[in-house]
Amino acid sequence: MGKPLPARLDSSNMSRRSGVLDRWRRRPLHPVPIRQEGLIQSLSAAAVRLAVRHGYTVRTEGNDMKKLLATTCLAVGLFGLGSAASAQECGDVTIANMNWQSAEVLANVDKFILTEGYGCSAELVVGDTVPTITSMIEKGEPDIAPEGWVDLLPDVVNRGLQEGKLVAASSSLPDGGVQGWWIPKYIVDANPDIKTIDDVLKHKELFPDPEDPSKGAIFNGPQGWGGTVVTTQLYKAYGAEAAGFTLVDTGSAAGLDGSIAKAYERKQGWVGYYWAPTALLGKYEMVKLDHGVPADPAEWKRCNTVADCPDPKKNDWPKDTVQTLVTKGFADRAGPVMEYLKTRAWQNDTVNKLMAWMTDNQASGEEGAKHFLEENPDIWTKWVSPEVAEKVKAAL
C-alpha cells in the first residue's frame, strides 16, 4: 500500500473535523463625511499632499481650518491608502486550511502575513490533502496549499507539476514528516551509547513492560494506523521478541500519548512509535532512534508496509515530503508574495513547541499564528522584506 500515513494524516481520520474557519474579509469603505475643527493642524504637509493626490478636498474656512474626507473612514487613515492600493494589486487569495494542527497554524500565519504585510484579501477555505491538491489541479483553486503532504498522492502531484497547473513554492517542513521509534532524552543523556534500535534491544531493563518488568516493552499505535503496521513489521525484523521485548497495543492515540506522559512524569524508560511535528514532542523532549541501516524503498514497499508480509527486513523509515503548493494562475500574478512563499519554511522543533503551546492554551490556529509571530520575529522576518516585516509588526 506504499508509505504509511502519520496518525493525523491516516486516511481513516483525514476528515475527522471540519473546524470553524475564519472567513473574514475586509469590509468595504463607506463614505463618512468628517468635519473636525483643527484637524488639519495634526496633519503633516506630506499627509495633505497624499490626500489631494487621492482626490480628497482640503480647504480652509475663515480662520479655522477644516478637512473634508468624503469617501473614507477616519479610522483607516490617510496612510492606509498605500495598503489599499497594494490590496488591489494582490487581490483575493484563497488558502487551504487543512484539518490538522500544524497545517492549520501555518495557514493562519500565511493569511496574517499576506493580509497585513502584502495587502492581500486573504481567505481560509476548508481543505484536506487529497481533495485540496486535486481541486488545485482540476479547478485552479484554492490558490495556496501551505502544508501539502505530497507523498500521499505522488502521481497526482507530479501530473499537476508536469502539466503546469501546480508550482512547488517551498519545502514548508524541510525536516520532512518524521516517523519512527523514539526514546526520552533523559534516557539518552544517561546512556549515550544508546543511539540505534539495536542498541535499545540490548537494554530491556531500561524499558520495562508495565505488565511484566522482567521484559522490555515497545509501544505501538492503535490498529488502523499505517505506523502501527510498520512498527509491527520492524518489531519482527529487528528480532525484538527474541531480545525479550513485548509489543504493546496502546489502543488509541490518547493511549499512546498517555504512555509517554506517564513515563516522562516518572522518569522511566519508554520506546515506541511516534512522529513529528506534533504537540506532544513539543512538550516532552524525545530522541528518534537511528535504524542502523540505509533506506531500501523497494523493500519498504514490498514488506515493511504490508501487514501480512512474513519476512520483513531491517529498514530505515523514509521521511515524508511536505511542500507548499500554489496554482500556476496564482504564481503568475503573485509577484512579491511568491518570493515569500518560496522562502517561508520552519523546522519541526519550532512547530512542535508551537503546537504544544496551542494545546496547553486551547488556542485556535489564528491565535497560534499570532503567538508565533509575536514570539519568533527572528524566524519569520527572514521570510520577508524589512518593509513587509514592519507592516506585520505594526499589525500585531
> Would you list the domain boundaries of the chain?
9-26+83-175+323-395, 39-75, 178-304
Q: Fold match between 9-26+83-175+323-395 and 178-304?
A: yes
The whole-number pLDDT of residue 6 equals: 41
Q: Has residue 140 got a pLDDT over 60? A: yes
pLDDT in tens, 144-160: 999 999 998 999 999 99
Mean pLDDT of all residues belonging to the chain: 83
pLDDT, average across residues 65-88: 40
Q: Has residue 16 got a pLDDT over 70? A: no
Tell the CATH topology of 178-304.
D-Maltodextrin-Binding Protein; domain 2 (3.40.190)
Q: Has residue 32 got a pLDDT over 50? A: no
pTM: 0.75
How confident is residue 276, by pLDDT bands cut at 50, 70 and 90? very high
Identify the weakest region by mean pLDDT among 5-14, 211-220, 335-344: 5-14
Alpha-carbon span 337 to 213, nearest angstrom? 57
The whole-number pLDDT of residue 89 equals: 66
Is pLDDT larger for residue 91 or for residue 51? Answer: 91
- Of 137, 174, 159, the C-alpha closest to 319 is 174
- Class of the CATH domain delimited by 9-26+83-175+323-395: alpha beta
The whole-number pLDDT of residue 73 equals: 38
The residue assigned the cell 492606509 is 80
pLDDT in tens, 298-307: 999 999 999 9
Q: Strand 272-276's sheet: what is its strand order?
A: 245-249, 216-220, 272-276, 178-184, 286-288
pLDDT in tens, 285-298: 999 999 999 999 99
The whole-number pLDDT of residue 277 equals: 96
